[in-house]
Amino acid sequence: MKVKTKIIIGTGIAFAGILFLMRNKIASAVWDLVSENRIKKLHPAIQNKVRTFINRAEKEGIQLRVTDGLRTFQEQDDLYAQGRTKPGKIVTNAKAGQSYHNYGLAVDVVPMVNGRPNYKDDYQKMARIGKSLGFTWGGDFKNLSDKPHFHMTFGNSIAELQNKVLKKQVQNGYVIV
């Protein structure tokens, strides 16, 4: 029996086909190409943990998208300025070099519902999954709750990561954790 595949450009059908092919080539790839591309830029020590997190959430009926991963210092300063010297709501208390995102050790995620982000979703289930894998959840932050945020420290404080950068304890562009 010959199977014909129809690719309709600009629809979810073509996108789903690409993801199916990717999953067959990359065993641990996540459902979402956008997320997978962001995961590939993270610190190698965290990449598979993030994939496992997203794949476990999917098994529980939650399609997570990585909205933010590795951030440059400039991107971090731009976010810090939001709600302070730039329009918008304050979303972070971390300046450049003070976020685990700056070292590729953090992700922000959002549940996707019918192809759209749903920031109003209950993050408790996602927090349970993330914490079970060793992530610190931003929803537990005392000063500024950040429910979409998950990071791993590998025993390193921000000050220790900054010090490693100064001492050039870096391999392939990432701080050695």
CATH of residue 82: 3.30.1380.10
What is this structure's pTM?
A: 0.82
In a domain, 27, yes or no: no
* Rounded CA separation 32/39 (Å): 11
For residue 138, give its domain range. Answer: 32-175
- Distances from the Cα of 64 to the Cαs of 71, 80, 114, 156, in angstroms? 19, 25, 12, 27
Q: What is the DSSP letter of 164?
A: H
Answer whether residue 169 is part of any domain: yes
CA 55 – CA 81 distance, rounded (Å): 34
Q: Is residue 21 part of a domain?
A: no
pLDDT at residue number 21: 44
Residue 105 pLDDT: 98
- Strand partners of residue 68: 108
Residue 56 lies in a domain: yes
| Secondary structure (3-state) at 22 | helix
Residue 58 lies in a domain: yes
Q: Is residue 103, in this structure, part of any structural domain at all?
A: yes
Establish if 87 belongs to a structural domain. Answer: yes
Structure tokens at 37: 């591309």
pLDDT digits (tens, 9 = 90+) for 119-170: 998 899 999 999 999 999 999 999 889 999 999 999 999 999 999 999 999 9
Q: Give me the number of domains the chain comprises.
A: 1
Structure tokens at 22: 């990717």
Query: pLDDT for 76-105, tens place per residue?
Result: 999 999 999 999 999 899 999 999 999 999
Residue 100 within any structural domain of the chain: yes
